[in-house]
Structure 1
Amino acid sequence: MNRILTDEQLVIELSEGNKFAFGEIYDRYWYKLFCIAYHQIGTKEEAEELVHDLFESLWNRREQSNIRHLSSYLVISMKNLITNFIKSQITWRKYKEYIILQKMQENALTENTAEFTDLSQALDNALKKLPEKTSKIFQLSRFENQSVKEIAKELNLSEKAVEYHITKSLKVLKDHLWIYHTQN
């Protein structure tokens, strides 16, 4: 075949399995498709791989393809491959970021759990050092979120007495738990 074939003729020859026609399409469009891919992707190797994938797909689907305008078909196919490639890269990057974040959270959770356990035990020990009534008032105030008025009513005490016990418990706890405050 020494004559120059049109794109339409090449498509017909390609659909019949003509390797020369495929080679001619490759020679005509490889550089154009490579430039499109390289401009969008930015790396030579990945751009070459996308062009290779496009031509491999063209050959494998040569009998089923209904190509009317070869140049437009190839450019649109390349843009679709580029879009899919970029999406896969974004998805892969997001997945890697997710895994890294998960590991960081697991490490922080383990560390925070240990710190919380230590602090919780220290708080329990400090509460045991308080008089029973003071400890009870503190727990109602801080753990059950009851107001001074509610605690006074429940325990049959004046509001001033409840405030006194809360202040006293906070002072004792501050003295016993100061080490946890300075670590953070």
Structure 2
Amino acid sequence: MHPQLTDSELTYFLKESDKKAFEEIYNRYWYKLFCVAYHETGSREDAEELVHDLFESLWNKRQQTTIQHLSSYLVVSIKHLSTNYIKSKITQRRYQEYLILHELHQAELTDETVQFSDLSKAVEEVMKKLPEKTCEVFKLSRFENQPVKSIARQLNLSEKAVEYHITKSLKVLQEQLRIYQN
């Protein structure tokens, strides 16, 4: 170990791949860096992992990195790692929220489509049970949006008869489709 060496000397020996210098830097700064990371993240596990990542990077880049002030370099580095970690967590959380909301929306649309499809089939079944003329009047009125006068002229019926057929079909539909009402 090199407890008597200064930070500048430790940095020099680190660059020369001296493992004892690296161990001394680790022992000297681990707790301080852990405290900074813990303060930033609020999580013991995350702080430990970030400090580990910093020391791993320090060792792997020891020959490319020029360090003037070891303590400042390490503190700024751990703050930078912590900030990036928090940003990635926020982005990840937002993405997960988006996915959840998207899935809920898709499920809602699917559910509405299924309900509409079921309702459409039920309406078709009820329409088959109606008398032919009543069914025809209802389709012209509700599906083709034709006014009573136009239907009466087209089918050679009185307006009262058209209204009777519409009322009759609506009443039957209401009774038969009660299970679809909220």
TM-score by length of 1: 0.73
Bigger mean CA offset, 46-55 vs 162-171: 162-171
Tell me which residue corresponds to 2:27.
Answer: 27
1:65 to partner: Cα distance: 0.9
Tell me which residue corresponds to 2:16.
Answer: 16
C-alpha distance in 2 between matches for 1:79 and 1:108: 44
Counterparts in 2 of 1:126 and 1:17: CA distance versus 1, 3 Å:
same
Tell me which residue corresponds to 2:179.
Answer: 179
Paired amino acid for 1:59? W
Q: Which runs of 5+ in 2 are unaligned?
A: none
Pairing 1:155–2:147 present: no
Tell me which residue corresponds to 1:51.
Answer: 51
Tell me which residue corresponds to 2:66.
Answer: 66
C-alpha distance in 1 between matches for 2:20 and 2:69: 19
Secondary structure (helix, strand or coil) at the match of 2:68 reads coil
Kept in 2: contact 1:54–1:78 (CA 8 A)? yes
Cα RMSD, aligned residues only? 3.5
Counterparts in 2 of 1:170 and 1:61: CA distance versus 1, 3 Å:
same
Kept in 2: contact 1:15–1:63 (CA 8 A)? yes
1:67 to partner: Cα distance: 2.4
TM-score by length of 2: 0.74
Tell me which residue corresponds to 1:41.
Answer: 41
Kept in 1: contact 2:141–2:151 (CA 8 A)? no
C-alpha distance in 2 between matches for 1:147 and 1:118: 26
Percent identity reads 57
Aligned pairs, number: 179
Superposed CA deviations along residues 117-175 of structure 1, whole A, max 9, x for unmatched, are 4433321111112233432343344444x252795498367766655443332111001
Tell me which residue corresponds to 1:75.
Answer: 75
C-alpha distance in 2 between matches for 1:117 and 1:164: 28
1:35 to partner: Cα distance: 0.8
1:22 to partner: Cα distance: 1.5
Counterparts in 2 of 1:82 and 1:140: CA distance versus 1, 3 Å:
farther
Superposed CA deviations along residues 18-70 of structure 1, whole A, max 9, x for unmatched, are 22221222222211210111122222222112111110110011011122332
Bigger mean CA offset, 66-75 vs 32-41: 66-75
Counterparts in 2 of 1:152 and 1:17: CA distance versus 1, 3 Å:
same
C-alpha distance in 1 between matches for 2:153 and 2:80: 71
1:115 to partner: Cα distance: 4.5
Counterparts in 2 of 1:65 and 1:161: CA distance versus 1, 3 Å:
farther
Bigger mean CA offset, 22-31 vs 129-138: 129-138
C-alpha distance in 2 between matches for 1:112 and 1:175: 22
Paired amino acid for 2:48? E
1:2 to partner: Cα distance: 6.0
Q: Which runs of 5+ in 1 are unaligned?
A: none
Pairing 1:3–2:4 present: yes
Secondary structure (helix, strand or coil) at the match of 1:49 reads helix
